[in-house]
Structures are given as C-alpha cells and as structure tokens.
C-alpha cells in the first residue's frame, strides 16, 4: 500500500459507488471522507457517508463540511438520486451517528495533507465548496496539494443546464477559486463520464455477485438507470467512479491539457467550465488535464472486479439484506 486517499463527496449514488470501491483498492488506503451539500442537503450526504462506511464495514472517519455553497442557495438533485439521495434506499443508521467528528472537513483535509504530503490523493466528487474553504483558510493548501482529481464540468455541454454540469453549477464561485488556485487539476467531466457507463449486462453481472454491498449497489442504481433511459443514454453513467478508477488504472483514460475557467457571472451560462480545447484562442496557464476518452469495457470490468472483492471478503449480511 503506497498511497493514501481522501474523498470529498456528496453521496449520492455514484459517490456511494466510489466510496465502496475505494475501500476495495489494493493501491490506496482511504484515510478520510468529507461531505458537502450537493445532491442532497448536508444532513443527508453526511449521514449517507457514515452509513456507507458502516456497510463496508470500515472505520474511515467522515468529516462534516459545508452546508451550502459559498454564496448561492443550495440546488439538489433528488430526480437522479432519489429521496435521501441513495436511490431511495435507506441504509440503517450506524452507531457512529451518535457522535460527530469534531473537526470540520477543511481542517481535517489540511491536517491530512500536512501529514501525508505527496502520498495523499484527493478526489473531489461533489460541489467544490469544501476545497474552496480550505484554500481560503490555509494559504499554503494549494502548494501542498500535488494535484486534485475532480468529477465536474464538461468541455462540451451540460447536464443541469445546457451549459453546466451539476457539481460546478451548484457552486460556481467555489469551482472558479479551485481552478484559479494553481493546483494541477485532473478533470473528469461529462465528456468522459457519459462514456463511463454500466450496461444492462454489467448490472446483471453485479446482481449475480453474492455480497450485500453488491446487492445494495444494484438497488441503489435502479433510479439512475431509469433516469438514464429518459435521456436515451446507453447505460447508467458512473460519473464519480471515474476519478477512483483512474487512480486504480490510469491507462483507462486519455487526456488533453487545457486552460479551464468557470463562468460565475452569466445567467444562462452559470457554472460553465470554459476551456480552450476547441478554440482557436489558446490560453495560459494550461491548469487542467481534461479526460476525454475512456476504455468503457475495461472500466466496467474493473468496476465489477473490485465490487466482487466484497464477495470474497468479510460480509455484513445483518446490515443490508
């Protein structure tokens, strides 16, 4: 085990999948999860993260983060993630819910960064509010972080509006601060995450796995599957999972380096990630590696392989049957 992993998230169905997979990594040890308001209110994303850790079962600490975007009202996504934000599935409350980590997300992440330095990989798969707060509070945060791997944005198009992807739309001011911070960013936006889907056959294969975690995942994905059908997608996209599977197997993805900024002023373009990828105007600095292509079948295979490790390891049938 050479590296440590931090997940800043808003579970969320695909966040849930990322958390489950991360705990089956043979390359990275998850050492902290922080939550942010996004797919649902922070009360739900925080509880969901703790319940997911209990389902694994693991003892990864979960730190509470921002309850709302930096300056905007919170926008949530119940139409994709369902009531309570796990596809309508309610995981039982865990013992850990009786106590709350006293440290806030940005403080805990900064401490982890000081301790682990370049051995820490940070995934940010929700709105970027917690990361922006860390940047504002700790002037050396950006220098200390070797890179930030995000799910968010799109070089082309949007899913919440024609211009914007959901995570960036929710807190564009936070996202702009992050893109302007000097931290090298690996951006898994809709360009590649819409290609990173599970087919019906993949879901059948997941259903055939014997673990309660796989059963939970299948149930949890049903609503997203229905939603994907209404958008004529070829399968259920696992947006957030791209970040983790990239760490597991970097060759799954291809990138192009680009300049990326975030639109905060526009009304109809709020939250658009503006890149120079398809523009004759080339800009500096090229602050972002934009993921553009995924080897989808290998992606799905790795997802199934990692989920299947639950069938071989310790089970917790009493928690989710």
Q: Rule CB under 6 A: which residues touch ligand BDR? A: 12, 14-15, 39, 77, 80, 125-126, 151, 159, 165-167, 239-240
Decide whether 60 or 193 has the Cβ nearer to ligand BDR: 193
Decide whether 167 or 308 has the Cβ nearer to ligand BDR: 167
CB of 75 to Ca ion, least distance (A): 13
CB of 126 to Ca ion, least distance (A): 5
From candidates 56, 77, 80, 125, binder to Ca ion by CB under 5 A: 125
Decide whether 14 or 176 has the Cβ nearer to ligand BDR: 14
Radius of gyration of the chain (CA): 18
**Footprint of Ca ion on residues 152-181 (CB under 5 A)?**
none
126 touching Ca ion, by CB under 5 A: yes
CB of 68 to ligand BDR, least distance (A): 16
CB of 149 to ligand BDR, least distance (A): 12
**Footprint of Ca ion on residues 6-35 (CB under 5 A)?**
10, 12, 15
Query: Which entry of ligand BDR, Ca ion, none binds 82, CB below 5 to 8 A by partner kind?
Result: none
What does the alpha-carbon distance between residue 149 and residue 243 come to, in Å, rounded to a whole number? 6
Q: Is 54 a catalytic residue?
A: no
42, 81, 239, 318: which one is catalytic? 239
Decide whether 15 or 121 has the Cβ nearer to ligand BDR: 15
Catalytic site residues? 239
- Which residues make up the interface to Ca ion (CB under 5 A)? 10, 12, 15, 125-126, 240
């Amino acid at each position: 085990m050479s590296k440590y992993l931090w997940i800043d998230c808003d579970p969320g169905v695909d966040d849930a999948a990322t958390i489950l997979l991360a705990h089956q990594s043979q390359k990275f040890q998850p050492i902290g999860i922080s939550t942010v308001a996004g797919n649902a209110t922070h009360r739900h994303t925080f509880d969901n993260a703790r319940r997911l850790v209990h389902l694994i079962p693991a003892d990864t600490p979960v730190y509470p983060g921002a309850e709302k975007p930096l300056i905007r009202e919170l926008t949530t996504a119940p139409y994709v993630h369902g009531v309570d934000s796990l596809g309508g599935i309610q995981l039982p409350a865990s013992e850990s819910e009786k106590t709350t980590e006293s440290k806030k997300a940005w403080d805990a992440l900064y401490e982890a960064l000081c301790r682990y330095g370049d051995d820490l990989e940070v995934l940010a798969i929700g709105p970027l509010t917690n990361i922006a707060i860390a940047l504002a509070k700790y002037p050396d945060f950006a220098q200390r972080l070797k890179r930030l791997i995000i799910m968010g944005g799109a070089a082309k198009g949007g899913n919440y509006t024609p211009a914007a992807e959901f995570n960036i739309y929710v807190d564009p001011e936070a996202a702009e601060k992050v893109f302007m911070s000097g931290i090298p960013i690996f951006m898994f936006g809709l360009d590649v995450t819409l290609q990173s889907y599970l087919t019906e056959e993949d879901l059948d294969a997941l259903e055939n796995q014997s673990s309660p975690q796989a059963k939970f995942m299948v149930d949890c994905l049903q609503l997203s599957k229905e939603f994907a059908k209404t958008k004529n997608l070829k399968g259920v996209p696992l947006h957030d999972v791209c970040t983790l599977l990239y760490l597991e197997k970097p060759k799954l993805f291809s990138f192009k380096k680009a300049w990326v900024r975030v639109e905060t002023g526009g009304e109809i373009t709020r939250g658009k990630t503006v890149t120079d990828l398809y523009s004759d105007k080339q800009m500096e600095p090229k602050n972002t590696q934009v993921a553009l292509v995924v080897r989808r079948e290998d992606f799905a295979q790795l997802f199934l392989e990692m989920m299947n490790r639950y069938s071989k390891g310790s089970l917790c049938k009493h928690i989710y049957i």
